[in-house]
Amino acid sequence: MKEHVITVVPTNNPAILKFETNQFIVKEAGYEYHNIDEAKDSPLAQQLFYLPFIKTVYISGNFIALERYDIVSWDDVKDEVAQQLVDYLNSGAPVVKEVAETKQTPVTIYAEVTPNPAVMKFVANKKLVPFTAEFKNIDEAKDSPLAQKLFHFPYVKEVFMDENYVSVSKYEVADWNEKTMEIREFIREYISAGNDILNADAVQKKNEEKAGAAFNSPDLDDTSQQIIQILEEYVKPAVASDGGNILFQSYEKESRTVNVILQGACSGCPSSTFTLKNGIENMLKNMLGEQVREVVAING
């Protein structure tokens, strides 16, 4: 068995240190633990919490990130921690007790109309994907076997996935009254058979990006952070219920312009301009005052 080697990598947060390994240690999404009780499914995290200076343990892909209390400096303990991790990983003991999903799962799918007449939302009774994914064509769908299959239907224009649903955008030549049942049954049978919705490599890469962003977040001004918080708390749940998504792109301080990206049913929706101006823009103006003058969808 290949031996584990640990590389210590600093982060933008002086309290957090990453211990990267030369091979993957978990398969599923990232795991975050704040105390020994939360770490009941991770023998490694439990052992780390016996160190009195450990505040948070994050395990994902090929690294363990540790947040410390201020009682010590990383310079004083990082070598000791790295050696402890090497010894543990090379012992072959489990890092996280990951439970494999059963392949055959009863699945129900129902179709739901959206404000965009070109888009139908297909909702499942289980979680489908761990993050939003948008595919404009079959070439972009290389990381999603399900999306690739959907693009084989000649009337499918775009595919968007989030949590427990798939939004499908069609070309005008097709009528949802005639095609909804066909797509609904295809998605239900595909998922029931235990087929992959996203490739494992794509999920792993996304988890590493998210974990890296969590510990090395770019510097954003206070207004941008406030905008992101408002979008996450007030806007995203509403647009998700309509089969879409909104992402913060940038904030231009001089022009007081907020740039966003619309995905899924929101992209190209006839009512999206009204929603953007009379909903999102007014909300940000009311909550942030003179800091916001305009909200612009850069793709829509």
Q: What is the pLDDT along the chain (300 residues), one digit of tens a residue?
A: 578 999 999 988 899 999 999 988 887 657 889 999 999 999 999 999 999 999 999 998 889 999 999 999 999 999 999 999 999 999 989 999 866 544 556 789 999 888 889 999 999 998 898 888 889 899 999 999 999 999 999 999 999 998 889 999 999 999 999 999 999 999 999 999 889 898 877 766 665 555 445 444 556 788 888 888 888 887 877 777 666 777 788 888 888 888 888 776 666 665 566 666 667 888 888 888 888 888 888 764
- pTM strictly above 0.85: no
Q: Give pLDDT tens digits for 58-75.
A: 998 889 999 999 999 999
Of 251, 155, 156, the C-alpha closest to 147 is 156
What HEC string does the chain produce?
A: CCCCCEEEEECCCCCEEEEEECCCCCCCCCEEECCCCHHHHCHHHHHHCCCCCEEEEEEECCEEEEEECCCCCHHHHHHHHHHHHHHHHHCCCCCCCCCCCCCCCCCCEEEEECCCCCEEEEEECCCCCCCCEEECCCCHHHHCHHHHHHCCCCCEEEEEEECCEEEEEECCCCCHHHHHHHHHHHHHHHHHCCCCCCCHHHHHHHHHHHHHHHHCCCCCCHHHHHHHHHHHHHHHHHHHHCCEEEEEEEEECCCCEEEEEEEECCCCCCCHHHHHHHHHHHHHHHHHHHHCCEEEECCC
In this structure, what token pair is assigned to residue 182? 């066909």
Q: 263: burial class by Cβ within 10 Å (0-12, 13-18, 19+)?
A: buried
Q: Give pLDDT tens digits for 182-220.
A: 999 999 999 998 898 988 777 666 655 554 454 445 567
Q: 171: burial class by Cβ within 10 Å (0-12, 13-18, 19+)?
A: exposed
Indicate the Cα dihedral angle 32, 34, 38, 44, nearest 10°: 70
